[in-house]
Amino acid sequence: MVAFLGYDFLPVSDPLAKVLNPPQLEAVRHGEGPLLILAGAGSGKTRVLTHRIAHLLRERLARPAEILAVTFTNKAAGELRERVEKLVGPDAQRLWVATFHAAGARILRREAEALGLTRSFAIYDDADQLAEAKRATSDLGFDVGTARQHLSRIDRWKNAGLLPADVRVAEYDVPGKTALKVYQRYQSALQASNAVDFGDLIVRVAELFRKRDDILQNYAGRFRHILVDEFQDTNPAQYQLLRLLASVHGNLCVVGDDDQAIYRWRGAEVDNILDFPKHFKDTKVVRLEQNYRSSGRILAAAHAIIEKNERRAEKKLWTAAGEGEKVRVFLAEDERDEGGRIASELYAQNARGTSYAEMAVFYRANAQSRALEDALRGRRIPYRVVRGRSFYDRAEVKDIAAYLRLCVNPRSDGDLLRVINNPPRGIGDTTVEHLRASANRQGLSLWEALSSDDPEMPANARTKIAPFKALIEKLRAGVAEDDGAAAAIERVIAETGYADRLRLEGEEGEERLENLLELVGAAREFDRAWAGEAVSAAEQPSAPASTEPRPIVPNPLTQTRAQYLRAVRSAPGSLGSPQASDDPPGDRPDALAALAA
């Protein structure tokens, strides 16, 4: 039984009418069939999503585990789950609320064997993908300097839902033909390494569903209602996946605004939302046009610009908040004039009593910051450019994470190549090339080649690699026995000699060592969260076996592999709520299983 906590103070007969405007109410109460919600900026789309989920549960139109809600960021997923929980209580924890990539990873973990992977497959991040693309380019005899452009084309193909066998390149497109060869080699290397990249978290799930109709029917039959936020930002591969998942019940609710479609450069296709009613027969279309965020003049100015788009869904935002201040527009002569005017305006506002901490300057491209920064410095205005390297992108954190993943999935060639001579242990490029050649000859992963009796492997190369092999074997045995993620990290830092190496690097090395200590602290938080979930489960009465998803627990050791996990923390230094994370769960209830995510 779902308790409708958010409306206890309202009449039981019609609680929604008091908190939603008529179009919002129409969207929330929609029953069966496809639903397109055209939600203008600031029109309360998140409220509609959360109340629609609550309505489905309240009216028993679906059980929690039969609802899949997809968002584009971990923060949005966490907020959506929290807001639903305020309305329906603990049942919200049994919903599938995730980003596209997190949901894809979750399905792949469960069905990995059907694609020839193990459930401990690695998820390669941007740096790992580029390294693999460079190896594929080199192996084929092409210029390694072209690897990045090949990888960019591979990413576009995956965004379009195309695996190597699906790609068709025009006869005149010579670079495209080269990229396709690299794509084929790259994808084969991922498979051999028991690894996937971010694009695979979508395109390989669609591949799985097309190959195994029984698996598709299981998931499509399970998700009675699917809800998608920011639908205008979906790419063709994501849309294909949604259509497959909605193939049984047809209850696909998408929320978006074509006027806010700004991600075509990364593969998003605005036609997905514009043509949705053509793809789904009898689609109900609801327009949310009342804005709760801006003044009337801002909305009028925005509409005067956006209405000139040649192809858009008609809508015009309005507000009950009044006209507000006039919008000021300044036409600058050049970037120096623009920067000087902005700096002068900020200085004047500060003189009138507004703190600089309450001001922000937005610009379109990073290159535009130079003129702005020069002008701010000239006025002695304190500022901070909000960009930089994420904690989980730092080399030392990624190195330790690579060691840990190697302990769980030794077939991950990317991780092995990252740490084989890190810290330095006398294994140079020539030795590594001998190892790679041996693996290629035998059709093995690099780790398997380490243990093979390849007669063509030079004796001196085998001698140099032997201590590294012994180290990884020792770490694998130790990590398997460690009581939690923090202990495993401390073991790797100590036994690899990584900490000793950093201490030799002076002040910078000490700072990097502090980052690793911070990683240990994050892992302890993870261990406590994991233990708490285990204790909570143990205290529950026995129940029949369920197919509902396990509580999702964030894993600091997988952050460098999956960008979709970086935003899971709700505040600096915190791992956030276990329930609010999108971390794809493993199937073994221990920290070591989570290392493989």
C-beta separation of 288 from 40 below 8 A: yes
Specify the amino acid at residue 70: V
User: Does residue 587 sit in helix, strand or coil?
Assistant: coil
pLDDT given at position 150: 94
**Assigned domain for 320 exists:** no
Instruction: Quote the pLDDT of residue 506.
Output: 76
The tens digit of pLDDT for each residue in 329-369 reads 999 998 889 999 999 999 999 999 999 999 999 887 766 78
Could you report the per-residue pLDDT of 294-307, keeping only the tens digit for each? 999 999 999 999 99
CA–CA dist 197, 124 (Å, integer):
5
Please identify, among 348, 378, 408, the residue that sits at the C-terminal boundary of a domain: 378
pLDDT recorded at residue 15: 66
**Confidence at residue 390, expressed as pLDDT on a 0 to 100 scale:** 61
Choose the weakest-confidence range: 207-211, 225-229, 525-529, 578-582: 578-582
Residues in the chain: 597
Q: Report residue 535 as tokens.
A: 């204790």
Tell me the CATH number at 240.
Answer: 3.40.50.300
Closest CA to 54 of 115, 111, 114, 2: 2
Cα–Cα distance between 250 and 32 in angstroms, integer? Answer: 8
Return the pLDDT at 578. Answer: 29
Beta strand pairing call for 96-99 and 284-288: unpaired
- Residue 419: which CATH number? 1.10.486.10
pLDDT band at 92 (very low <50, low <70, confident <90, very high): confident
* Residues 538, 442 within the same domain: yes
Report residue 413: phi and psi, to 5°: -60, -35
Rg (CA), the chain: 27
In this structure, the number of other CB atoms found within 10 A of the CB of residue 238 comes to 26
Please report whether residue 463 resides in a domain. yes
First to last CA, the chain: 34
In this structure, are residues 398 and 418 in contact, taking their beta carbons and an 8 Å threshold? yes
- Domain membership of residue 590 (yes or no) is yes
Contact residues for 92 (Cβ-Cβ < 8 A; gap 6+):
64, 81, 84, 85
In a domain, 294, yes or no: no
Residue 274 resides in a domain:
yes
The verdict on residue 306 lying in a domain is no
Identify the domain boundary among 326, 353, 378. Answer: 378
190 close to 169: Cβ distance less than 8 angstroms = no
Number of H helices, E strands in the chain: 24, 8
State whether 127 and 220 are in the same domain: no
The DSSP result for 22-56, as a single string, is HHHHHHHH--SS-EEEEE-TTS-HHHHHHHHHHHH
Q: What are phi and psi of 70, to 5 degrees?
A: -115, 130
d(C-alpha 527, C-alpha 477), whole Å: 20
Over residues 479-512, the pLDDT tens digits come to 988 888 899 999 999 999 998 888 877 777 888 8
97 plus 133 within the same structural domain: no
Same-domain pairing of 212 and 282: yes
Task: Please state, in angstroms and rounded to a whole number, the distance separating the CA atoms of residues 426 and 323.
Answer: 70
3-state secondary structure 465-505: HHHHHHHHHHHHHHHHHCCCHHHHHHHHHHHCCHHHHHHCC
Q: In one letter, which amino acid is 470?
A: A
Ranges 3-17, 115-129, 167-181, 548-562: which has the least confidence = 548-562
CA 591, 218, 97, 159: dihedral to nearest 10 degrees? 90
Which among 318, 310, 262 has a CA at the least distance from the CA of 287?
318
Per-residue pLDDT averaged across 450-458, rounded?
Answer: 90
pLDDT (tens digit per residue) in 273-282: 999 999 999 9
Range of the domain at 352: 335-378
- Asked if residues 334 and 360 have their Cβ atoms less than 8 Å apart, the reply is no
Residue 581 inside a domain? The answer is: yes
**Tens digit of pLDDT for each residue in 133-172?**
999 999 999 989 889 989 999 999 999 999 999 999 998 8
For residue 529, pLDDT beyond 80: no
Name the DSSP letter for residue 79.
H
Given a cut of 50, is residue 589 above it in pLDDT? no
Identify whether 236 is part of a domain.
yes
Domain final residue pick, 378, 409, 432? 378
Same domain membership, residue 492 and residue 358:
no
Task: Tell me how far apart the alpha carbons of residues 44 and 238 are, in angstroms, rounded to a whole number.
Answer: 24
Q: Where are the alpha helices (DSSP H) in 384-543?
A: 395-408, 413-419, 429-442, 446-450, 459-481, 485-495, 498-503, 506-539
Name, in order, each residue with C-beta under 8 angstroms of 213's C-beta and a sequence gap of 6 or more: none
d(CA 519, CA 185): 35
Same domain as 487, residue 350: no
Burial-class residue 154 by CB neighbours within 10 Å (0-12, 13-18, 19+). Answer: buried
DSSP character for 318?
A: B
The answer on 426 and 359 residing in a single domain is no
- Cα(597)–Cα(584) distance, rounded to whole angstroms? 7
User: Is 283 found in the same domain as 172?
Assistant: no
Q: Check whether residue 22 and residue 141 sit in a common domain.
A: no
Residue 453 C-beta-side C-alpha neighbours within 13 Å: 0
pLDDT of residue 425: 87
* Number of domains observed in the structure of the chain: 4
Neighbours of 289 (CB within 10 A): 16
**Virtual torsion, Cα 558, 559, 561, 567, nearest 10 deg:** 140
Cβ(535)–Cβ(565) below 8 Å: no
pLDDT digits (tens, 9 = 90+) for 45-56: 999 999 999 999
456/543 same-domain check: yes
**370/402 same-domain check:** no
Residues 6+ apart with CB under 8 A from 426: 464
Q: Is the CB of residue 215 less than 8 Å from the CB of residue 209?
A: yes
Tokens standing for 106?
């979750």
Place of tokens 């093995």: 444
Please check whether residues 525 and 440 belong to one and the same domain.
yes
